[in-house]
Chains A and B, each alone.
Chain A
Amino acid sequence: MMMRWIAAFVLVVGASLPARAAVDIQEVTSPGGITAWLVEDHSIPFTALELRFKGGTSLDAPDRRGAVNLMTALLEEGAGDLDAQGFLKARQDLAARFSFNSGMDSVSVSARFLTESREQSLELLRKALVAPRFDPQALERVRGQVLSTIASDEKDPRAIANRTFDRLAFGDHPYGHAPDGTRESVTALTRDDILAAHAATIARDRLYVGVVGDITAEALGPLLDRLLGDLPAEGAPMPDDVAVQLAGGTTVVPFETPQSVAVFGHAGMDETDPDFFAAHIMNQILGGGGFQSRLMTELREKRGLTYGVYSFLAPMEHAALVMGQVASANESIAEAVQLVREQWADVAENGVSADELEAAKKYITGAYPLRFDGNGAIARILAGMQFAGRPITYIETRNDRMNAVTLDDVKRVAARLLQPDELHFVVVGQPEGLSATQ
């Protein structure tokens, strides 16, 4: 009784799903020529600002691995006339929040500041970006923290699996190296290396800006110039693209721990590929999260072999992967690996069912508007869209493009993207019944 009622209800409301998120994006160009995407929302007296500088740790020089990561961590450790503690006190007095993060392809800055102290907060942020001090004492303190993180990663099965996979996939390309660097490389970094990493990465020619909250377009323009106008016009050239160097098989990294951790994958698909939407839907069905995916159904729901198993598309600036991860007790990881391989092969060969496609579309299109949840989240989306080269109208058309994907599209893209013979597993632990192929 209730089931039928729910089914009817789903159908009715399914048709009335909000077609697009209610965000009104303005493109603002400052008098000095800096572009930002802005969503005004004056209901809470604060603003979220997201800056993304393309490049990130992939711009580390070959003998200076970890410089960009350490530089980014030092941006909040003293700037202009303020030492590390002075900077932190000033930020806390303004009740502003800044965070600085480096990734393989970008350095990102997330800031939130109250309307009442907007100008002072942005002036403080300007100092961090334009005039970081990199004081020797702060450098040593933060270097100690980074070395501690590196040491912990060396004994963490998940980190070991990811590092091993990256090294096998990308070799000597920057993507093949740990973004934090190694104990040796970080120990050897000098203040000049940090200054060079700053000059290489924090520049206007690679900057994307998203702003959301209690600020008008008129007010934003001049503030952008003050905040970012003093940055150098150009940073370091981007690294080359790289081919994925993995072959199918299994690598085992022995590590004494009860549960084996596996990271797996092979070459993937660029985000600009016309089939990317179909690939996104295909991945959602294969292992894109939730209890319904093929991988979760086979490994967790039917057999209780794992707490979680996922697959994901990983398009990067200079390469693309389709990847996944799973963890299972040493005694059962071999079965888990085998089941992943079987699902990979099944979807590659047979595609997915009409019901699976329909359910995935409903979820993907229905969940999309829910992402626009809060000023900080929207600011990140705006910067990310520009970073990925998407048009400002992307949000309006995205769900229609998802809905346009057909069963044949998914079948075609699955056959093209999923390569069961190319699938490589890196397993860290003491797996039973699983042998390395190399």
Chain B
Amino acid sequence: MIARIAAVLLALLPFSAMAAENVTTFELDNGMTAVVIEDHRAPVVVHMVWYRVGAADEPAGLSGVAHYLEHLMFKGTDELAPGDFDAIVKANGGSHNAFTAPDFTGYFQRVAADRLGLMMELEADRMRDLALTEEHADTERGVILEERNQRVENEPNALFAEQQRAALYLNHPYGRPVIGWRSEIAELDREKALDFYRTYYAPNNATLVVAGDVDPAEVRTLAEAHYGPIAPSVDLPPRVRPAEPPHLAERRVRYSDPRVAQPYVMRNYLAPERNSGDQRRAAALSILADLLGGSGLTSVLGEKLQLDAQIAIATSAYYNPTSYDPTRFGMYVVPADGVSLEEAETALDRVLQAFLAEGVDPEQLERVKGQMRAALIYEQDNLQSLARRYGAALSIGLTVEDVQSWPEVLQSITAEEILAAAEDVFDRQASVTGWIMRSDQEVTQ
């Protein structure tokens, strides 16, 4: 069986050749970079503009302004009334949305391929020419407070995550929630949003990603026509955030809330991120996350804690390598009925110790790598996720070559590198351990 599978998956190589044949890049004179991904299966295009600015670039005291601005980008320009953007995209059968992350802010539309020029016209218009009224800005602040209510204040798990993140980062703005602290959202206004906009929204701080039934030369012509005339910003601030000092003390977060039904324990470590031309440690950590908790019962935590000891009903490990500054490596254990959080945490540490002592199971490593190879095939079916992969990577300083070599780097990672990365990252001094529990639980723990 195993031999047969190896043969099957080898046939899929080489990855970079496969990825490269339908991806083209170019740069406009004003510094706007562009990636075109061709897929001619359906007459559809995804058009995205990614700004290399996110919540971690906000001035202190203005948490949430990047996300607030993202909302206000739909509130009209010197040419279009509020709501016109939405109306025009919809009238063309398109869908659209936007997202804000710590390192980037993105806007995208999905529409019939022959509407690409119109989407560029709209997106170029609002890159520099936003026109906001106080009234719209004030109303939208109310919308965002309700968004925070819905996503965070009404969700004890989200409040818990927010507290842990704040505890993990001692100095870096990654410790702040992307949506913003409630008290600071309440103080945001039109001027603060426009200041942020004028500083960061410019072609030389943006990446264009076009994916779908398009011809790269035609995309370039359209991009030159629509984005080309926009003057670049001459005073774009350097992208330097406050750095983390040495982490010398382990942190613990205990959060109680009467709305909690299911207690669990979480551990987050400060972890290195992907860097251009230097992706091996991040690749090792990506595989480590899959080995430890990426696939339920066949991963280390699932096998030891859910299947063997049966003290957990769920386990997971996660790591997001696509980050501008140091990121997190995390795990959680959801204890079975009757198992305390202390017992769950002790069991988690026991499993990690045993993993470091025993090393990587070669069969499991091969299974994880095989799944990663297959994911490349399945991902070709999902244009939007492919487009997002390029957009996110380019927004944090990686290159198209980094994106295309990533699968090969993953495949080349050895068990020794994984173990070394694990030993490096599992430093309790650079970690936060969180317990979330019912309000009545604290006394009994």
A375 contact set on B, CB distance < 8 A: 381
Distance in angstroms from B8 CB to nearest chain A CB is 4
Contact B377 A362 (CB under 8 A): no
Asked if B60 lies at the interface with its beta carbon under 8 angstroms from chain A, I say no
- Chain A interface residue number, banded: 35 or more
Asked if A258 lies at the interface with its beta carbon under 8 angstroms from chain B, I say yes
- Per the bound structure, the CA–CA distance linking A114 and B370 in Å amounts to 12
Asked if B20 lies at the interface with its beta carbon under 8 angstroms from chain A, I say no
Asked if B175 lies at the interface with its beta carbon under 8 angstroms from chain A, I say no
- Chain B interface residue number, banded: 35 or more
Contact A85 B307 (CB under 8 A): yes
Contact A307 B93 (CB under 8 A): no
Interface centre among A84, A306, A372, A373 (most CB of B within 10 A): A373
Q: Which of B112, B118, B313, B371 contacts A95 (CB 8 A)?
A: B371
Q: A141-B313, A144-B337, A157-B154 are in contact. Are A93 and B367 (CB under 8 A)?
A: yes
Bitwise, A231-271 to B at CB < 8 A (1) or not (0) is 00000000000000000000000001111010000000000
Bitwise, A346-358 to B at CB < 8 A (1) or not (0) is 0000000000000
Distance in angstroms from B332 CB to nearest chain A CB is 13
B303 contact set on A, CB distance < 8 A: 85
- Per the bound structure, the CA–CA distance linking A359 and B5 in Å amounts to 52
Q: A93-B370, A370-B112 are in contact. Are A9 and B337 (CB under 8 A)?
A: no
Contact A302 B139 (CB under 8 A): yes
Distance in angstroms from A10 CB to nearest chain B CB is 5
Distance in angstroms from A140 CB to nearest chain B CB is 8
A46 contact set on B, CB distance < 8 A: 377-378, 381
Question: In this complex, what residue of A is CB-closest to B140?
Answer: A304
Distance in angstroms from B182 CB to nearest chain A CB is 10
Contact B154 A144 (CB under 8 A): no
Distance in angstroms from B190 CB to nearest chain A CB is 14
A window 36-67: CB within 8 A of B: 41, 43-46, 48
Contact A370 B95 (CB under 8 A): yes
Q: Which of A114, A151, A257, A259 contacts B261 (CB 8 A)?
A: A151
Q: Which of B141-149, B265-273, B350-358 lies at the interface?
A: B141-149
Contact B150 A259 (CB under 8 A): yes
Bitwise, B49-82 to A at CB < 8 A (1) or not (0) is 0000000000000000000000000100001101
Asked if B1 lies at the interface with its beta carbon under 8 angstroms from chain A, I say yes
Asked if B260 lies at the interface with its beta carbon under 8 angstroms from chain A, I say yes
Distance in angstroms from A5 CB to nearest chain B CB is 8
B147 contact set on A, CB distance < 8 A: 307
Contact A370 B374 (CB under 8 A): no
Contact A292 B149 (CB under 8 A): no
Q: A95-B374, A147-B337 are in contact. Are A290 and B154 (CB under 8 A)?
A: no
B295 contact set on A, CB distance < 8 A: 88, 92
Distance in angstroms from B309 CB to nearest chain A CB is 12
A117 contact set on B, CB distance < 8 A: 5, 8
Question: In this complex, what residue of A is CB-closest to B84?
Answer: A3
Interface centre among A48, A84, A144 (most CB of B within 10 A): A144
A18 contact set on B, CB distance < 8 A: 43, 112
Q: A95-B373, A148-B313 are in contact. Are A84 and B8 (CB under 8 A)?
A: no
Asked if A388 lies at the interface with its beta carbon under 8 angstroms from chain B, I say no
- Per the bound structure, the CA–CA distance linking A292 and B96 in Å amounts to 13
Contact B374 A362 (CB under 8 A): no
Q: Which of A97, A303, A307, A308 contacts B139 (CB 8 A)?
A: A303
Q: Which of A22, A88, A306, A363 contacts B91 (CB 8 A)?
A: A363
Contact A327 B146 (CB under 8 A): yes
B window 1-56: CB within 8 A of A: 1-2, 5, 8-9, 11, 41-44
- Per the bound structure, the CA–CA distance linking A253 and B296 in Å amounts to 36
Contact A85 B381 (CB under 8 A): no
Distance in angstroms from A163 CB to nearest chain B CB is 14
Asked if B183 lies at the interface with its beta carbon under 8 angstroms from chain A, I say no
Asked if A339 lies at the interface with its beta carbon under 8 angstroms from chain B, I say no
- Per the bound structure, the CA–CA distance linking A363 and B28 in Å amounts to 33
A306 contact set on B, CB distance < 8 A: 143, 146
B83 contact set on A, CB distance < 8 A: 291-292, 301
Contact A328 B146 (CB under 8 A): yes
Question: In this complex, what residue of B is CB-closest to A261?
Answer: B154
B95 contact set on A, CB distance < 8 A: 367, 370
Q: Which of A48, A290, A370 contacts B111 (CB 8 A)?
A: A370
Contact A374 B373 (CB under 8 A): no
- Per the bound structure, the CA–CA distance linking A145 and B112 in Å amounts to 43
Q: Which of B11, B79, B91, B121 contacts A362 (CB 8 A)?
A: B91
Contact A92 B91 (CB under 8 A): no
Asked if A2 lies at the interface with its beta carbon under 8 angstroms from chain B, I say yes
B425 contact set on A, CB distance < 8 A: none
Asked if B92 lies at the interface with its beta carbon under 8 angstroms from chain A, I say yes
B382 contact set on A, CB distance < 8 A: 374
Contact B154 A259 (CB under 8 A): yes
- Per the bound structure, the CA–CA distance linking A292 and B258 in Å amounts to 38
Distance in angstroms from B130 CB to nearest chain A CB is 14
B window 239-254: CB within 8 A of A: none
Contact A370 B114 (CB under 8 A): no
Asked if A112 lies at the interface with its beta carbon under 8 angstroms from chain B, I say yes
Contact B90 A292 (CB under 8 A): yes
Contact A14 B260 (CB under 8 A): no
Contact B377 A114 (CB under 8 A): yes
- Per the bound structure, the CA–CA distance linking A16 and B149 in Å amounts to 43
- Per the bound structure, the CA–CA distance linking A43 and B327 in Å amounts to 37
Asked if B220 lies at the interface with its beta carbon under 8 angstroms from chain A, I say no
Q: A116-B8, A152-B261, A259-B149 are in contact. Are A372 and B42 (CB under 8 A)?
A: yes
A73 contact set on B, CB distance < 8 A: none
Contact B94 A367 (CB under 8 A): yes
Q: A292-B86, A301-B139, A362-B93 are in contact. Are A89 and B298 (CB under 8 A)?
A: yes
Contact B118 A9 (CB under 8 A): yes
Asked if B158 lies at the interface with its beta carbon under 8 angstroms from chain A, I say no
Residues of A within 8 A of B (CB): 1-3, 6, 9-10, 13-14, 16-18, 21-22, 41, 43-46, 48, 84-85, 88-90, 92-95, 97, 112, 114, 116-117, 141, 144-145, 147-148, 151-157, 256-259, 261, 290-292, 300-308, 327-329, 359, 362-363, 365-370, 372-376
Q: List 10 A-B contacts (CB under 8 A).
A: A1-B79, A22-B42, A95-B373, A153-B261, A291-B86, A292-B87, A304-B139, A307-B147, A327-B146, A370-B93
Q: Which 9 A-B pairs have the closest CB atoms?
A: A366-B93, A304-B142, A95-B374, A259-B149, A307-B147, A151-B261, A304-B139, A2-B79, A116-B8
Beyond known contacts A155-B260, A359-B87, A370-B112: 5 more, CB 8 A cutoff: A14-B92, A117-B8, A141-B306, A154-B261, A259-B149
